[in-house]
Amino acid sequence: TAAQTFIGMVVGSLSGWFKGWTDTVLMRIVDVILGIPYLVLALAMVAVMGKGVPAVIITLGLTAWLQTARTVRAGFLQVRELEYVEAAKAVGVPTRRIIVRHVMPNVFQPVIVLMAIGIGMAILSEAALSYLGVGVKAPAPSLGLMISESQSSFTSSPHLLFFPGLAIVATVLGFMLMGDGLRDALDVKDV
């Protein structure tokens, strides 16, 4: 989640601040990658890098940054036109300081929500990759791997399949609800 947030923040910031050809090129790259189904892209990357925990972490980090980039870009396009940002530019404040002090704090709230949701999606994606046999290898614990290995004994021991599945659902649902709660808590309302 940290990798996807960092990559998404960098790409979205560059795209939203500089606009023009930078925005066009970066957003077309994002659009092309978004055109590929997420799991297919993750499967292809894991196939290239091999099985194991590091490969899964790198794959999830490199495939999940797209929504963060689009959200950050939208925030930058909105905030960069506000009066206080224009005033900072007019008095000669360096671009880096404007971005860090004036724009980022206003753009970061939706990114926090995306991070919470991204954790749930990363857990679900890792479980899917491990279930398909291309994720985490057997000695390392993985709920997807537990489900995959317990399929053969489903009729005699259904609890071996049920509890890892329940753990995935509960964990992912918990992070999704946390993201929804953060969105509601951080939402600025007019009084």
User: What is the per-residue pLDDT across 46-79, written as a single tens digit (0 to 9) for each?
Assistant: 888 877 778 788 888 888 888 889 999 998 888 8
| Radius of gyration of the chain measured on its C-alpha atoms | 20
Dist. CA 101–CA 87, nearest whole Å = 13
Q: How many CB atoms lie within 10 A of CB 69?
A: 26
Q: So what's the pLDDT on residue 189?
A: 52
Q: Which fold has domain 2-186?
A: MetI-like fold (1.10.3720)
Token couple for 44: 């292809």
Q: Where is 32: in which H helix or E strand?
A: helix 20-34
> According to the model, what pLDDT value does residue 191 have?
38
Q: Check pLDDT > 90 for residue 148.
A: no
Q: State CA 155 to chain mean position distance.
A: 37
* pLDDT of residue 41 exceeding 50: yes
Q: Which residues contact 63 (CB under 8 A, 6 or more apart)?
A: 33, 38, 41, 42, 45
**Which of the 8 DSSP states describes residue 153?**
T
Q: What is the DSSP annotation of 57-81?
A: HHHHHHHS-HHHHHHHHHHHHHHTT
Tell me: the pLDDT tens digits for 102-142?
888 888 888 888 888 888 888 888 888 888 888 777 777 88
Contacts of 71 (CB under 8 A, 6+ apart): 8, 12, 110, 111, 114
Q: Please, which pLDDT band fits residue 190 given cuts at 50, 70 and 90?
A: very low
